[in-house]
Amino acid sequence: MARTQKNKATAHHLGLLKARLAKLRRELITPKGGGGGGPGEGFDVAKTGDARIGFVGFPSVGKSTLLSNLAGVYSEVAAYEFTTLTTVPGVIRYKGAKIQLLDLPGIIEGAKDGKGRGRQVIAVARTCNLILIVLDVLKPLGHKKIIENELEGFGIRLNSKPPNIGFKKKDKGGINLTATCPQSELDTETVKSILAEYKIHNADVTLRSDVTADDLIDVVEGNRVYIPCIYVLNKIDQISLEELDIIYKVPHCVPISAHHRWNFDDLLEKIWDYLKLVRIYTKPKGQLPDYSSPVVLPYSRTTVEDFCMKIHKNLIKEFKYALVWGSSVKHNPQKVGKDHTLEDEDVIQIVKK
């Protein structure tokens, strides 16, 4: 692919190669079958709390020190690489939400191909709501590239939204391509050849934004996860103030020192922004709202119905209406049905039948 010059005539050929590569990569990640191995040592941890954050990084960048100092959980720390061998969980309470932190073992180059238990590590990272990539301030950029490459190769897309492509398989009728805006890279031929690589010959494809061949492959593969990510630059006690000012301008980036506990509040604030959690306070009838323990919902599911499901699934059967105080309603209080969308720090009272 590197030797082919990119122009309109070769775009079709390059798209084919990209699709073939993606397909082969997927087969590497998920082997075709084979006998089941014995029960190995468990690696993943049960999901608790309202959100889950994984620390990813090279060995010896201070992931375990960061966990110990943030959550008060002792994760073994020593001056040699691969001190942490399995996942060490910890929980912090922040603004009323319980957030689970996972200290994962270090990733090395070639982790996505199974080096150094890299597959299990990245598989746990896939289940997180937010990934913190911990980097050493003294050699950040090279490491950042390698880690991003490992995660991308495993189907994790960092800080990006799913591409706006409609894709629907059919039984017959060939491939229908509709583009709602001008495409710079994809044309009907390229799309057909990429889909043919996956043995798909009948499908509706809608392109709603200017997308690349890689985006189309992501959608067809269907196993991609889109996770927000923060780069944590550790060990800032080893650099000068001028360098620190430059670092602060990098996007998605927080400099800290895990050992001296510098700048933790900034990190927590940023984590809270990226998790986009919504806190809902409950109010029993005739009493003041309980501001100490909110019900925390993910920002994608914040209707009154989701709130009821979070508490107990029988609640929705007896649900009559809800009274809501806060920024999501015009009047305080307002009667709402179960499809009303709640916002952060609303107060709700549910009335049963």
Average pLDDT of the chain?
76
User: Is the model more confident about 29 or about 263?
Assistant: 263
Q: DSSP readout, 29-40? A: HS-S--PPPP--
What pLDDT does 199 receive? 81
Could you give the angle at the alpha carbon of 285 between the alpha carbons of 282 and 288, nearest 5°?
Answer: 60
* Whether 271 contacts 53, CB under 8 Å: yes
Neighbours of 31 (CB within 10 A): 7
Mean pLDDT of 153-171: 80
Name the token pair of 291.
Answer: 């501001």
Amino acid at 139: K
pLDDT tens-digit profile of 282-313? 888 888 877 777 888 877 777 888 888 878 87
pLDDT tens-digit profile of 99-109? 888 877 777 66
Q: DSSP readout, 254-298? A: EE-BTTTTBTHHHHHHHHHHHHTEEEEEE--TTS--EEEEEEEEE
What pLDDT does 299 receive? 76
H helix or E strand, kind and range, residue 102: strand 97-103
H helix or E strand, kind and range, residue 150: helix 140-153
Task: Measure the CA–CA gap between 327 and 323, rounded to whole angstroms.
Answer: 13
H helix or E strand, kind and range, residue 27: helix 8-29
Cis before residue 333, ω within 30 degrees of 0? yes
pLDDT grade for 116, boundaries at 50, 70 and 90: low
Among residues 306, 285, 291, the alpha carbon closest in space to that of 350 is found at 285
Among residues 279, 277, 278, 253, the alpha carbon closest in space to that of 266 is found at 253
Task: Measure the CA–CA gap between 328 and 336, rounded to whole angstroms.
Answer: 11
| 322 pLDDT above the threshold of 80 | yes
What pLDDT does 49 receive? 73
Task: Measure the CA–CA gap between 213 and 187, rounded to whole angstroms.
Answer: 10
What pLDDT does 111 receive? 55
pLDDT grade for 110, boundaries at 50, 70 and 90: low
What sign does the dihedral 143-144-145-146 (CA atoms) show? positive
Q: Rounded to whole angstroms, what are the CA distances from 255 to 11, 127, 237, 244, 307?
A: 41, 25, 10, 8, 36
Residue 50 DSSP SS3 = coil
Identify the burial level of 120 via C-beta atoms within 10 angstroms of its C-beta, where 0-12 means exposed, 13-18 middle and 19 or more buried: buried
pLDDT tens-digit profile of 23-79? 777 766 555 444 444 444 455 567 777 788 888 877 777 777 777 777 777 666 665
What's the pTM? 0.70
